[in-house]
Structure 1
Amino acid sequence: MANASPPVTVEAAPVQAGPPPKSKVRSAIGWSYVLTAGRVGSSIVVTFVLAMLLGPDEFGILAMALVLVMIAQTILQQGLVSAIVQRDKLTGAHLDAAFGVLAIAGFGVAALVAALSPLWALMYREPRLTLVCVALAPLVLMQGLATVPEAVLRRELQFRAVAIRTLLAAVVSGVIGIALAVAGAGIWALVAQQLVNALIGLIVLWIVCPWRPSRRIRLGAIRELWTFSLHSANAGLGVMLSNRADLIFTGLFFGPIATGIYRLAARLPDMLVDVTVRSLQQVALPSLSRHQNDRTAFVNHLVQLQHLGAIVGLPVLGVLAATAGPLVGFLGPQWAGTEVPLQVLCLFGAVNVFGVLLGPALQAIGQPGKLAAISWARGLLGVATFAALGTMFGGGNPAAQATAIAVAGVCLQVVVNAVSIWVTVRRAAGASVLRFLLPTLPAVVAATAAALVPYGLNRLGADELPPLVGVVVLGAAGGLTAAAILWTTDRRVRDLVRKRLPRRFRRPSHPPRPA
């Protein structure tokens, strides 16, 4: 894959971040989809197998432990990555300094996670968390060692290399996790899966990345990244709090079983959002950053990305909602009741489709402070809401507790996305909110129709089918319904499909002129 600019090396002159060729952006988007589709595809298979072998209790324990690890990783990763990707001029000195700081901090923060593990277990009233958190602490160090080379590859839009790393790590770790679960390892199968995934990813990342740190580190270069990094890290912590407050309070008030049910119900739609919209998010920051000085081009590119995210993200969430009942039945009786929070969280994912690209847009336009304010407001509001729910539903059924958290999450996300769209599109970019949303309307209709398919087919006896057959029948019906609506109502979808058809299958736009 051709590069728009030379790879950053230690001796490199400042790298100018001009607009990349359209072919490189398209290639980056394609490889970003390959990256996320492969990872999510393997993750879905692994998650289903592990869910059948294990139960909500093990999944809940892992989710509680990962919250502590994610807090530590966010502190390390978020600020400097965004600064490296977004900065107009970047030299080897910036990368050397960032890597040195992150490597040293990685050791320290990983040790801090291990030291805080007993307190984390005490807070959750779950003694098993201590050893699990200690075992997962190396994830923080590995994140620190991987941050700079991954940021270099993302800045250069080299998602092919990132795809190789991620896919290999997901497959190898999934095989090991399943093997250990079959052997009766329980929660440690999930822990081993996380560790192996990070380790394989780190090794492959350093193999495919051409950049290497030098032995001389100029800490003065950090000061040039620091202002943006502080704002971005602040935003990252706010995003983490807003995204994980539901899991934190589900564990605190309801225990590991409700947390495991909620975790699985949230993970399935979240993986679909990953493969559809967050694939674009990975490309959005570097590609939008190239247009930060041209607001018209910036808005046009953001609208195109949002439309693409909607047409690939919303219909599949509608199909998942349609298949929720037989899908949970296929996983086994230990997951009974998970179908309701799963359907509610499909709606959460659909709302989230309209918010995933707003954070990178604010960062690309040089306004991470606004992102931080929105994220912290959402996080604090979520803390208050979920704490109130925890008090109200403390003695209920685990599935009902997970459903209550899911409903509250949807309401919060609607409010926060409305504010975020107005701040990003109207205030920061100076564009019309209607222009941003209107192209996504056909995808909204298609997703709604797909989700309603079971109400018709169940009257014909689809709910009496074996679970796996029900998943296939409802999924196919929902998918065909959504595809038909998109094809008939969205001209951009028809154009995208026709451009990718072999030339002999394309229908000419105008009849040929007579000779």
Structure 2
Amino acid sequence: MVTAPPAEPTAAPAAKKPGVGSAIGWSYVLTAGRVGATVLVTFVLAKLLGPSEFGVVAMATVFITVAQTILQQGLVSAIVQRDKLTPEHLDAAFGVMVISGVVVCGAVAALSPVWALVNREPQLTVVCLSLSPLVLMQALTIVPEAVLRRDLQFRSVALRTLSASVVSGVVGVVLALMGAGVWALVAQSLVNAFVGLVVLWTVCPWRPSRRFQLGAIRDLWKFSVHSANAGLGSMLSSKADIIFTGLFFGPIATGIYRLAARLPDMLVDVTVRSLQQVALPSLSRLQKDRDAFIRHLTTLQHLGALTGLPLLGVLVAAAGPLVDFLGPQWAGTEVPLALLCGYGALNAYGVLLGPALQAIGQPAKLAAILWTRGILGVVVFAGVGTLLHGSSAARQATAIALAAISMQIVMNAASVWVTVKRAVGGSIPRFLAPTIPSVLAGLVAAGTPLLFDALAISVGPPLLALVAYGAVAAALSGVVLWLTDRRLRLLVRKKLGARLDWIPLSHPHTGRHAA
């Protein structure tokens, strides 16, 4: 959601920087690999555990996320976006991060009993205490990761995230098989952060010195304070649903909602958020050329919709068999899962707008959008929690999902207008038009169960039904994309060259160019 020329001098050793195309490719690799491993591990853990365990960890994680957001958002964006960055800036930022990490980690540990008391869940105290080291580990990763992202070194970032996901996934599954319950999920989070920290410092060439100049922090502060404000607003707007589900409904409804939200969110991660990682540094290089800026932003949005919307449609089609496969403890999850795929589709139109506003030096506008959505979410989710306090867990999760979709429609419309029309000066119809084929492909994929019903086709075991529904939905969406998206055909032809000269660039029946 509404989450320049090469800088001189940089703190990293001189080297040829990869281009934007290479960065996008590695961004997809790192996110696809991480999400692929995470999806597999999530399925296994959901099969072995239940909604209550997932809910307790989700309630603890959102508490930790508040602290991590306070640390992360401001300086990262300032380092990536800043036109002129010196070694002194990085040294000062790292010093601030270490000190802040220790202080905030201690605050998290001290406030853990309070969070457990507010949520009326005693187990949260020890779970939050166990997860508090994540804050300090996060503080130690912020500057080196920002250095790699600034220089578009996504291959190095890929190595870090993939290795951490695989190792932590194995640890989590083994502990779950041993009967560790909620502690399997806790250990998975801790191992993921620790392995990622070690690998990051191994692949990053930058090292801090003993210099610490207060003036360097002042240079970053003006941008950082607005970006940090936007980060806190983003955290509130993106986590309000989990926070209020836990506060009003408890761990079981939270676990159902968290699993239903996590699967589409991971698809958005691997598609649109892969581009979001590249968007800030690549758009920042075009901040003085608004025509080139809006063209590049439109291209990124098309790529995000092209990869994200059809996959979300496939997940909608497979929601029923998937929940049947996970087991009776997850009964009722298919409805919020399908709804939250729609939320993810709407989110695909928002995640690139935040980096766009940051790239042109307007994080205050981003902060205003995110805080508006966050405050609206507090009001709406608190109302839902009050009205449905005595309902079933599945119904409670469904109501939260419907509320999230309603808010996303309103806020996305406002965000697109503020960013594309007002801040950048582009045309909203031209920005959205290239994504229409992807919308059609996603809708066709989501309607696959209706096709099976119309043809009276019944598929037996849940796993076989999951594969069948997913395969047919993917095939149908692929055909629709190929027939309607001329940009896709141009992209494929450009990448594969003369070997695909036979591909028509116009509509096969009318001879007119496709949309």
TM-score range relative to shorter protein: over 0.9
Q: Which residue in 1 is equivalent to 2:315?
A: 320
| Cα distance in 2 between the residues matched to 1:29 and 1:173 | 25
| Cα distance in 1 between the residues matched to 2:256 and 2:504 | 51
1:225-283 CA deviation, whole Å, 9 max, x = no partner?
Answer: 00100000000000000000000000000000000000000000000000000000000
Q: Which residue in 2 is equivalent to 1:179?
A: 174
Q: Say whether residues 1:276 and 2:278 are aligned partners.
A: no
1:463-512 CA deviation, whole Å, 9 max, x = no partner?
Answer: 542111111111111111111111111101111122233643432779xx
Whether contact under 8 Å (1:235, 1:368) holds in the other structure is yes
| Cα distance in 1 between the residues matched to 2:410 and 2:34 | 31
Q: Say whether residues 1:206 and 2:208 are aligned partners.
A: no
1:425-452 CA deviation, whole Å, 9 max, x = no partner?
Answer: 0000001111110111111111011101
Mean Cα deviation higher: 462-471 or 443-452 = 462-471
Match of 2:306 among 298, 308, 311: 311
Q: How many residue pairs get matched?
A: 501
| Cα distance in 2 between the residues matched to 1:221 and 1:168 | 34
1:202-240 CA deviation, whole Å, 9 max, x = no partner?
Answer: 000000000000011112100000010000000000000
Whether contact under 8 Å (2:340, 2:401) holds in the other structure is yes
Q: Note the C-alpha offset of 1:4.
A: 6.7
Q: Please give the secondary structure, in 2, of the residue aligned with 1:146.
A: helix
Q: Which residue in 2 is equivalent to 1:484?
A: 479
Q: Which residue in 2 is equivalent to 1:97?
A: 92
Q: Which residue in 1 is equivalent to 2:451?
A: 456
What amino acid maps onto 1:114 in structure 2?
A
In 2 relative to 1, CA 463–265 (structure 1 residues): closer, same or farther, beyond 3 Å? Answer: farther
Q: Which residue in 1 is equivalent to 2:513?
A: none
Whether contact under 8 Å (2:168, 2:192) holds in the other structure is yes
Q: Say whether residues 1:267 and 2:262 are aligned partners.
A: yes
Q: Which residue in 1 is equivalent to 2:509?
A: none
What amino acid maps onto 2:209 in structure 1?
S
Q: Which residue in 1 is equivalent to 2:162?
A: 167
1:325-377 CA deviation, whole Å, 9 max, x = no partner?
Answer: 00000001100000000000000000000001000000001000000000000
Q: Note the C-alpha offset of 1:5.
A: 7.2
1:278-333 CA deviation, whole Å, 9 max, x = no partner?
Answer: 00000000000000011011001000000010010000000000000000000011
| Cα distance in 1 between the residues matched to 2:100 and 2:53 | 30
The residue correspondences of 1:226-305 to structure 2 (distance < 5 A) are: 226-305=221-300
1:126-152 CA deviation, whole Å, 9 max, x = no partner?
Answer: 000000000000000000000000000
Q: Please give the secondary structure, in 1, of the residue aligned with 2:187.
A: helix
Q: Which residue in 1 is equivalent to 2:10?
A: 8
Q: Which residue in 2 is equivalent to 1:152?
A: 147
| Cα distance in 2 between the residues matched to 1:461 and 1:172 | 44
| Cα distance in 2 between the residues matched to 1:7 and 1:333 | 58
The residue correspondences of 1:13-412 to structure 2 (distance < 5 A) are: 24-412=19-407
| Cα distance in 2 between the residues matched to 1:179 and 1:461 | 41
What amino acid maps onto 1:8 in structure 2?
T
Whether contact under 8 Å (2:493, 2:503) holds in the other structure is no
| Cα distance in 1 between the residues matched to 2:501 and 2:473 | 27
Whether contact under 8 Å (2:489, 2:503) holds in the other structure is no
In 2 relative to 1, CA 53–461 (structure 1 residues): closer, same or farther, beyond 3 Å? Answer: farther
Q: Note the C-alpha offset of 1:116.
A: 0.2
Q: Note the C-alpha offset of 1:459.
A: 3.6
Q: Which residue in 2 is equivalent to 1:495?
A: 490
Whether contact under 8 Å (1:103, 1:144) holds in the other structure is yes
What amino acid maps onto 2:241 in structure 1?
D
Q: Please give the secondary structure, in 2, of the residue aligned with 1:89.
A: coil
| Cα distance in 1 between the residues matched to 2:297 and 2:361 | 15
What amino acid maps onto 2:75 in structure 1?
L
1:100-132 CA deviation, whole Å, 9 max, x = no partner?
Answer: 000110011011000000000000000000000
Q: Please give the secondary structure, in 2, of the residue aligned with 1:49.
A: helix
Whether contact under 8 Å (1:5, 1:156) holds in the other structure is no
RMSD value, Cα:
1.8
| Cα distance in 2 between the residues matched to 1:281 and 1:116 | 33
Unaligned 5+ runs, structure 1: 511-515
User: TM-score scaled to structure 2, two decimals?
Assistant: 0.95
Whether contact under 8 Å (1:285, 1:364) holds in the other structure is yes
| Cα distance in 2 between the residues matched to 1:426 and 1:121 | 44
| Cα distance in 2 between the residues matched to 1:304 and 1:295 | 14
Q: Please give the secondary structure, in 2, of the residue aligned with 1:88.
A: coil
Task: Give the ranges of 4+ consecutive aligned residues of structure 1 lying more than 4 Å apart after TM superposition.
Answer: 3-7, 461-464
Q: Which residue in 2 is equivalent to 1:513?
A: none
In 2 relative to 1, CA 180–11 (structure 1 residues): closer, same or farther, beyond 3 Å? Answer: closer
What amino acid maps onto 2:399 in structure 1?
A
In 2 relative to 1, CA 457–217 (structure 1 residues): closer, same or farther, beyond 3 Å? Answer: same
In 2 relative to 1, CA 408–508 (structure 1 residues): closer, same or farther, beyond 3 Å? Answer: closer
| Cα distance in 1 between the residues matched to 2:301 and 2:42 | 28
| Cα distance in 2 between the residues matched to 1:502 and 1:276 | 24
| Cα distance in 1 between the residues matched to 2:348 and 2:412 | 10
Whether contact under 8 Å (1:362, 1:371) holds in the other structure is yes
Q: Which residue in 2 is equivalent to 1:472?
A: 467
Q: Note the C-alpha offset of 1:96.
A: 0.3
Q: Note the C-alpha offset of 1:9.
A: 2.3
Q: Which residue in 2 is equivalent to 1:446?
A: 441
What amino acid maps onto 2:11 in structure 1?
T
| Cα distance in 2 between the residues matched to 1:10 and 1:270 | 33
Q: Note the C-alpha offset of 1:399.
A: 0.4
